[in-house]
């Protein structure tokens, strides 16, 4: 699975994330495409190679002096109306913007629809958010991980009427996401803001997990910030590669570039998704019908789990495991055949044992056995339900008799 790991070395901002993507090979014209799709006029984009404490990075220079300002509603409308962008990009960009607006509203005690944006109301907020989301999609990134956020030295306002560090909106965003932060370092003293609200909103919204994954690394992109402190580099690093199953790491197996690592026992699959929804108003008949429809749509497995929901209501968690390419088909079944208003989807990996089916002859007729293989050896075998049931019914014997007859034949295959 194509993976990105965001390492906030010396802070995080929207333009630093965008610079890291461009440094990793994203064409600048791809960002310009996103800006054009939004219908923003008067935006000029340039890049520059700059050094921060002997670390080279790409800095994005966004000139919006001739571009209009935007209200929250106008920003969301611009994203929703950008039909040339994919639905995935529009949805993710809208989620980032809503995270920003909710934090600003809480800080100022306003309704999210009524807040007045100051610095965030300029067009470069749209450029940064949509550019980063669109860039990740164009680089085929399927999963995002992130390191703890670097906030710098906590301190009061540095000018009359200014805000403290970290910015109140940045802290609100981090708290809402439960995201980890790196500890303050002595060398952060006097530097001021390192992680901006836009940077925090992008990372907390897009990151699937806050940890460094086991991964191969194909490229590193470095985004340079606008500060140049003497004690540390004001940069953000983006690692691009593919996730590696933990068994490969533990066994010491090495993976050649672009090749699937050899598995010591079972096959690793990472092109699988888990779809889930919570239900407190579905009948047993609806749940049974939905399970049948999900299997018909190609689900690998479907199950129900009892859960406790709000207002002390007993409910059911409906879950389905499916190939990633069938995600939308199964999501439609969830939405059509249950009362739910939404479906959670996340990529998952799994180890899969090889298996085959053989037929054994018994005194009650032929019965198929499903065998499980690990590391080239058969480790178990189980009779097929339908064959055991048919043999038991045809010979008027008990279930256990038919099962034992099949198990006695295991040694012959």
180 and 217 housed in the same domain: yes
The position carrying tokens 């989301």 is 133
pLDDT recorded at residue 120: 61
Percent of the chain surpassing pLDDT 90:
61
Around Cβ 125, how many Cβ atoms within 10 Å? 25
Comparison of pLDDT for 365 and 247, the residue scoring more? 365
Contact 143, 100 (CB under 8 A): no
Choosing from 331, 352, 373, the residue where a domain stops is: 352
300 and 185 housed in the same domain: no
Note whether residue 249 is domain-resident.
Answer: no
Query: Domain range holding 302?
Result: 267-352
173 and 101 housed in the same domain: yes
89 and 137 housed in the same domain: yes
Note whether residue 248 is domain-resident.
Answer: no
Note whether residue 197 is domain-resident.
Answer: yes
pLDDT recorded at residue 374: 83
The position carrying tokens 């055949």 is 337
99 pLDDT higher than 70: yes
Around Cβ 312, how many Cβ atoms within 10 Å? 6
pLDDT recorded at residue 265: 62
Measured CA to CA, the distance from residue 6 to residue 184 in angstroms comes to: 19
**What global pTM score does this model have?**
0.61
260 pLDDT higher than 50: no
Mean pLDDT for 158-186 is 86
Closest CA to 244 of 320, 345, 327, 145: 145
184 and 70 housed in the same domain: yes
Closest CA to 12 of 217, 187, 180: 180
271 and 216 housed in the same domain: no
3-class DSSP state of 179: coil
Comparison of pLDDT for 293 and 190, the residue scoring more? 293
Q: What is the pLDDT of residues 36-88, one digit of tens each?
A: 999 988 899 999 999 999 999 999 999 988 888 888 889 999 999 999 999 99
pLDDT recorded at residue 249: 43
pLDDT recorded at residue 259: 42
92 and 233 housed in the same domain: yes
238 and 280 housed in the same domain: no
Measured CA to CA, the distance from residue 318 to residue 294 in angstroms comes to: 11
Choosing from 335, 352, 369, the residue where a domain stops is: 352
220 and 324 housed in the same domain: no
Looking at residue 289, which CATH number applies to its domain?
Answer: 3.30.70.1380
Note whether residue 260 is domain-resident.
Answer: no
> What Cα–Cα distance (Å) separates residue 43 from each residue in 38, 47, 129, 167, 184?
11, 13, 14, 26, 36
278 and 393 housed in the same domain: no
Contact 324, 220 (CB under 8 A): no
Mean pLDDT for 174-192 is 90
pLDDT recorded at residue 8: 95
pLDDT recorded at residue 115: 67
168 and 274 housed in the same domain: no
158 pLDDT higher than 80: no
Give the mean pLDDT of the chain.
88
119 pLDDT higher than 70: no
pLDDT recorded at residue 357: 85
Measured CA to CA, the distance from residue 45 to residue 233 in angstroms comes to: 23
Note whether residue 344 is domain-resident.
Answer: yes
219 pLDDT higher than 60: yes
Note whether residue 37 is domain-resident.
Answer: yes
320 and 197 housed in the same domain: no
Look at strands 2-7 and 235-243 and give their pairing: antiparallel
Note whether residue 250 is domain-resident.
Answer: no
255 pLDDT higher than 60: no
Provide the number of structural domains found in the chain. 3
Closest CA to 131 of 202, 66, 63, 212: 202
* b (16+ CB within 10 A) / e for 214-239: ebbeeeebbbbbebebeebbbbbbbb
Note whether residue 154 is domain-resident.
Answer: yes
């Amino acid at each position: 699975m194509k993976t990105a790991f965001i390492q906030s070395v010396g802070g995080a901002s929207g333009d630093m994330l965008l610079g890291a993507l461009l440094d990793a090979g994203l064409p600048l014209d791809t960002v310009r495409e996103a800006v054009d799709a939004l219908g923003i006029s008067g935006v000029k984009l340039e890049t520059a190679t700059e050094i921060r404490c002997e670390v080279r990075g790409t800095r994005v220079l966004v000139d919006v002096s001739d571009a209009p300002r935007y209200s929250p509603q106008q920003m969301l409308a611009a994203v929703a109306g950008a039909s040339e962008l994919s639905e995935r990009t529009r949805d993710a960009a809208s989620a980032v913007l809503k995270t920003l607006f909710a934090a600003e509203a809480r800080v100022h005690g306003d309704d999210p629809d009524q807040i007045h944006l100051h610095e965030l109301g300029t067009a470069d907020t749209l450029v940064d958010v949509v550019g980063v989301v669109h860039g990740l999609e164009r680089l085929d990134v399927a999963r995002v991980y992130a390191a703890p956020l670097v906030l710098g030295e906590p301190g009061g306002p540095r000018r009359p009427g200014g805000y403290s560090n970290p910015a109140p909106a940045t802290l609100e965003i981090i708290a809402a996401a439960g995201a980890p932060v790196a500890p303050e370092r002595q060398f952060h003293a006097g530097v001021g803001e390192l992680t901006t609200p836009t940077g925090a909103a992008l990372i907390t919204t897009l990151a699937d997990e806050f940890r460094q994954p086991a991964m191969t690394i194909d490229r590193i992109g470095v985004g340079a910030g606008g500060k140049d402190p003497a004690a540390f580099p004001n940069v953000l690093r983006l690692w691009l590669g593919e996730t590696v199953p933990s068994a490969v790491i533990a066994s010491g197996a090495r993976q050649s570039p672009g090749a699937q690592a050899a598995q010591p026992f079972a096959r690793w699959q990472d092109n699988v998704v888990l779809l889930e929804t919570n239900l407190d108003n579905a009948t047993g008949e609806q749940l049974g019908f939905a399970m049948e429809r999900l299997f018909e749509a190609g689900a690998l497995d479907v199950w129900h789990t009892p859960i406790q929901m709000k207002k002390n209501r007993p409910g059911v968690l409906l879950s389905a495991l499916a190939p990633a390419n069938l995600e939308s088909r199964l999501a439609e079944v969830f939405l059509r055949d249950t009362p739910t208003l939404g479906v959670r989807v996340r990529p998952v990996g799994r180890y899969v044992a090889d298996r085959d089916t053989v037929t054994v002859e018994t005194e009650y007729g032929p019965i198929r056995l499903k065998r499980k293989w690990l590391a080239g050896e058969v480790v178990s075998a189980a009779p097929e339900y339908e064959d055991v049931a048919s043999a038991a019914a045809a010979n008027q014997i008990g279930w256990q008799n038919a099962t034992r007859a099949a198990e006695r034949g295991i040694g012959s295959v």
